Amino acid sequence: MGEVVKKEVLRLFDVGLIYPISDSSWVSPVHVVPKKGGMTVVVNEKKEIVPTRTVTGWRMLERLSGQQVYSFLDGFSGYFQILIAPEDQEKTSFTCPYGTFAYRCTPFRLCNTPATFQRWKVSIFQDMIETSMEVFRDDFSVFGSSFDQCLTNLVKMHRRCVETNLMLNWEKCHFMVTEGIVLGHKISRDGIQTLH
């Protein structure tokens, strides 16, 4: 585990997401969580954090179903795209064998991170949600009644991402398809199906 922690801490440091800190009274021990695709995320110990549940309604899936064409996109390190006020950064401190660090941006598993992230995404795409796309945390579902309509909606969504510096993980995106998986459900023009 030591090499995994070291590699992730160095990666986060190299891209400027964390910085060394020596005088924080908010420090927590480090914990490693595996993610799909082999990535790992260094987070504070789960027992020291009270997670917040964001509940999504069935209506979002209903709005997605029945469309002809979809593009399913994934945000790249979504929480890291929300900066933390400098006076609050020390509260994100974590320690490991390689030093004590604090985040400049929102790390995985802070108490209100999911709700904050959802509000941020809704504020970016508020004029497009329900009519041409749906957003849930780092998942985007763009849709249209035809190939051309979905493409038009996708271009508009992409422009908004560029304008707001919202990064996407292109390796996990699926463009111009007739079905896809959203929140554990298969969505298509035929409706909603639960995955077993």
What are the pLDDT digits (tens) for 47-98? 443 333 334 455 788 888 999 999 999 887 777 778 889 998 988 888 888 8
Token duo for residue 145? 């009644």
% residues pLDDT > 70 (the chain): 80
pLDDT at position 159 is: 96
Percent of the chain with pLDDT over 90: 27
Q: Look up the CATH number of the domain holding residue 66.
A: 3.30.70.270
Q: Which residue has the higher pLDDT, 22 or 55?
A: 22
Give, to the nearest 10 degrees, the angle between helix 113-125 and helix 147-163. Answer: 120
Number of other residues whose CB lies within 10 A of the CB of residue 7: 12
Cα torsion 71, 61, 53, 196 to 10°: value is -90
- Domain containing 161 equals 2-194
pLDDT of 55 reads 41
- Please give the mean pLDDT across all residues of the chain: 81
Structural domain count of the chain: 1
pLDDT at 45: 52
Tell me the three-class secondary structure of the chain, residue by residue.
Answer: CHHHHHHHHHHHHHCCCEEECCCCCCCEEEEEEECHHHCEEEEECHHHCCCCCCCCCHHHHHHHCCCCEEEEEEECCHHHHCECCHHHHHHHCEEECCEEEEECECCCCCCCHHHHHHHHHHHHHCCCECCCEEEECCEEEEEECCHHHHHHHHHHHHHHHHHCCCCECHHHCEEEECEEEECCEEEECCEEEECC
What are the tens digits of pLDDT across the range 85-134? 999 898 888 888 888 898 888 887 677 777 777 888 888 898 999 899 99
Residue with the larger pLDDT of the pair 163 and 121: 163
Q: Is the pLDDT of residue 184 over 60?
A: yes
* Confidence (pLDDT) at 66: 92
